[in-house]
Amino acid sequence: MAEHILRRHVEDEGLDVEVDSSGTGGWHVGDPADHRTVATLRRYGYTSAHAAQQFQALWFDRYDLIIALDRGHYRDLRGMAPDGEAREKVRLLREFDPDADADDLDVPDPYYGGKTDFEEVRDLIEAAVPGLLAEIRKNLAAPGTS
């Protein structure tokens, strides 16, 4: 869900960045997005085509910013990082929401919930997007960044 929401905002702003998503485990590689995620995205006018993939450590060289949705994934991703510079690329999505509770930065997994859980996740992602876009614009303006 976060991939499609961020991608649309990036496109709307005309930013030249790649937006992609992946999991830290290989359980669902190749699977499409959950039908409830697709329904939630479509309800708000977002695209929804997706095939799950697993994050690869070599992608630390490919991306300037790697966003985790919860602390478990944050730890997993930082643990995969080849060095300190790569570890610093990993951030929690809700860090970019100025109204987020610093003690509760996880985006919950709605998989075992219902429609309202998917709506809540969308709301949390949307709340973080303006701050994330500001970070992306800052990184694009910084010398030596791509």
Summarize pLDDT for 70-115 with one digit per residue, the tens: 999 999 999 999 999 999 999 999 999 999 999 999 999 999 999 9
Does 114 map to a domain? Answer: yes
Q: Give Dmax (Cα) for the chain.
A: 45
pLDDT of residue 28: 87
Does 91 map to a domain? Answer: yes
Contact 66, 90 (CB under 8 A): yes
CA distance 104 to 100: 7
Does 146 map to a domain? Answer: no
pTM: 0.93
Does 106 map to a domain? Answer: yes
Looking at the predicted structure, is the pLDDT value of residue 146 above 90? no
Range of the domain at 55: 2-141
State yes or no: is 16 an active-site residue.
no
The one catalytic residue in 31, 83, 104, 109 is 109
Identify which of 5, 83, 82, 85 has the alpha carbon closest to the alpha carbon of residue 48: 5
Does 9 map to a domain? Answer: yes
Annotate 106-122 with b (16+ C-beta within 10 A) or e (fewer).
bbeebeeeeeebbbebb
In total, how many domains does the chain have? 1
Does 24 map to a domain? Answer: yes
Does 123 map to a domain? Answer: yes
Q: Check which CATH number belongs to the domain holding 38 and give it.
A: 3.40.50.2300
